[in-house]
Amino acid sequence: MKTKILLGILYLLFAFGAGFHLPAASAANGGPAFSLSSGASFVNAGNTYTVTLRGQGIKDLYAFQALFEYDTNYFEFIEVKKSLTSTGTTVYKDRGTEVLFGFTKIGNASAESGDMDLCAITFKAKLSGATAIKLKSVDILDNGNSGQTYAGNSELPVQIVTANQPGDGNGTENGTENGTGNRPGSGTGNTGTAAPRPTTPQTEEPNQAIAKTSVTAENLNAAFKQAKQDSDGVKRVVIELLGTETAKEYAFELPAQALIASGMEHEIVLLTPFCSVQLPGDMLNNTGLEGNQNIIFSIGLADTSGMDAHAREIIGYRPVIELKITADDKTIHWNNPDSPVKVSINYKPTADELNQTEHIVIVYINETGKVEAVPTGNYDAFSGKVTFKTTHFSKYAVAVVYKTFDDISEYAWAKNAIDVLASKGVISGMTDEAFAPSKKISRADFIVLLVRGLGLSAKIDSNFDDIAETDYFYHSVGIAKKLGITGGVGANKFNPQAEITRQDMFVLTARAFEFTKKVFAAGNTSEIKRFNDASDVAEYARESIATLIKEGIIEGSGSLIAPKNHATRAETAVIVYRLYQH
């Protein structure tokens, strides 16, 4: 009779789409915990993806009900089955964005306790992008018809990819001025040339969830002989690993000599279903590796279990990758400020995120599970990728960050620039709530903004005599000096705490801008004459200001340049933001 009553309740409530309602409880104080898992963190579009619900610390389970949530834009529900070995009856209802599944034992069967897999739910992947399967709640009934409802508190991020994602016949998606792009394709950017793809065997180790390939020095050399230089004199070769159902990591075995060079004459592009990495030809200089050694570059979906609460909040279900280099089964802790690597992660924003794509950022997950901003992170709608540069390998994630301050509402002309740069980690407030937009900015602080905003990096050989290694701006000023952006104020001094004038800000900006190869011709100094205070501009600053006017970086304050005024924090934020957008 007990079983008939239970089954009657289950079928009746499922028919009305309600399910049973039990007293709410939690996993605290020794209660059960529930989690979702799968054999992979990504799936190819068009294939099926199965998620298992597991319970830990369960007591006296005779029947249970689980409520799952999914996004119908990305997944189509296929089926759900019990994982328990016990005999019983199951029912389910697909509500479109939710699936309700129930199971009950039959007759005088004993209740179960312990850790156990409860059920497995299968979906078909429809559209490439980042999404998640969520567990909303689990209800447990004992054999006395009493029980409790537990909050799901479990979310399984899933990246849906296309198995083979070559570029179109027109070249790399989002090609830049020098012919590179966020995603290597069968061609190049606007001024680049076709990047050869050496034929390489792909193997798979399903038990380790690794897809791998190996490229010999002979194959690479032959490919580079076929490659043609782009406008910067760089040759590129693309090596691709295709997506598989089980692989969570993609490993490329390469000869170290291919990345130990004296200059930037060539580049190797590693292409996986969820990410591409562009390796400069000199990235392994000064690492102690020998040219006859083989190295393995690994691009994988990272373990996120160690992330702290803040990291989980801003990353959510978005992709998290891990980049590694090994040689002779030992990890190489690569860090080369002179040779940054460009990384592009596939990402499909939500409808809300598409309205504010500038707040899609990249964060680095450090060894303690906390996040640190990567200022160069930038989403490109054309390629569907979030691209950034890094000088060390670790775990990186796509995140969404909205940062603002309480004291910038009256600075409408600067508010968006400040919000975006703060969200990306380029700029900081005086406190978490206050930005102090009208405060004058020091020479050192402006250099910090410039270096972060443009993603400049270099190994520091020396610094100015009035800069101490303990200064927070030591590395930024040292990078600017190494790259020739600043020569200081004379006698190897920088005068870091002095307030910077607008014309000095413009000179440093133009030099940094030119260093990034975004400026190819100086502006005409006659452009300055249209401003009423043109005669106040110092001779040393005239060409730099003319260049920035030509590029739209300087618009002037009304009809004035105000070159001798000291720059405010709001003004510098706008200048750096325009550089960032250019």
Mean pLDDT confidence for 14-40: 62
Q: Which helix (H) or strand (E) holds 352?
A: helix 351-354
CA Rg value for the chain: 28
Mean pLDDT confidence for 262-276: 84
- Is the pLDDT higher at 381 or at 564? 564
Burial 79-111 (b: 16+ CB within 10 A, else e): ebebebebebbebbbbeeeebbbbbbbeeeeeb
Mean pLDDT confidence for 184-206: 59
Report d(CA 563, CA 540) in Å as an integer.
Answer: 12
Report d(CA 54, CA 32) in Å as an integer.
Answer: 10
Report d(CA 255, CA 38) in Å as an integer.
Answer: 34
Query: For residues 248 and 208, is the Cβ–Cβ distance under 8 A?
Result: no
Query: Whole-number mean pLDDT of the chain?
Result: 85
- Is the pLDDT higher at 118 or at 247? 118
Reply yes or no on whether the pLDDT at 430 is more than 90.
yes
Report d(CA 239, CA 213) in Å as an integer.
Answer: 9
Per DSSP, the three-state class of 16 is: coil
- Is the pLDDT higher at 381 or at 410? 410
DSSP state of 256: G
At residue 176 the predicted structure's pLDDT band, cuts being 50, 70 and 90, is very low
Q: How far is residue 496 from each of residues 256, 378, 449, 459, 488, measured CA to CA in Å?
A: 41, 30, 13, 20, 9
Name the residue type at position 191.
Answer: T
pLDDT digits (tens, 9 = 90+) for 81-140: 999 988 889 999 998 899 999 999 888 888 999 999 999 999 999 887 778 899 999 999
Mean pLDDT confidence for 329-353: 91
pTM above 0.85, yes or no: no
Q: Please give the pLDDT value at position 174.
A: 32
At residue 264 the predicted structure's pLDDT band, cuts being 50, 70 and 90, is low
Report d(CA 572, CA 501) in Å as an integer.
Answer: 11
Reply yes or no on whether the pLDDT at 18 is more than 80.
no
Q: Please give the pLDDT value at position 185.
A: 35
Reply yes or no on whether the pLDDT at 165 is more than 70.
no
- Is the pLDDT higher at 390 or at 209? 390
Task: Write the burial class of residue 445 (CB in 10 Å: 0-12 exposed, 13-18 middle, 19+ buried).
Answer: buried
Report d(CA 93, CA 166) in Å as an integer.
Answer: 39
Task: List, in sequence order, every beta strand (DSSP E) within 142-201.
Answer: 147-161
Q: How far is residue 28 from each of residues 33, 135, 151, 221, measured CA to CA in Å?
A: 9, 17, 11, 60
Q: Please give the pLDDT value at position 375.
A: 95
67 CA to centre of own chain: 30
Report d(CA 412, CA 574) in Å as an integer.
Answer: 11
219 CA to centre of own chain: 32
Q: Please give the pLDDT value at position 521.
A: 64
Sort strands 202-205 and 210-214 into parallel, antiparallel or unpaired: antiparallel
- Domains along the chain? 2-155 (2.60.40.680), 202-400 (2.60.220), 412-581 (no CATH)
Reply yes or no on whether the pLDDT at 392 is more than 70.
yes
Mean pLDDT confidence for 494-515: 94
Angle at alpha carbon of residue 417, lines to 412 and 421, rounded to 5°: 145
Q: Please give the pLDDT value at position 305.
A: 83
DSSP state of 206: G
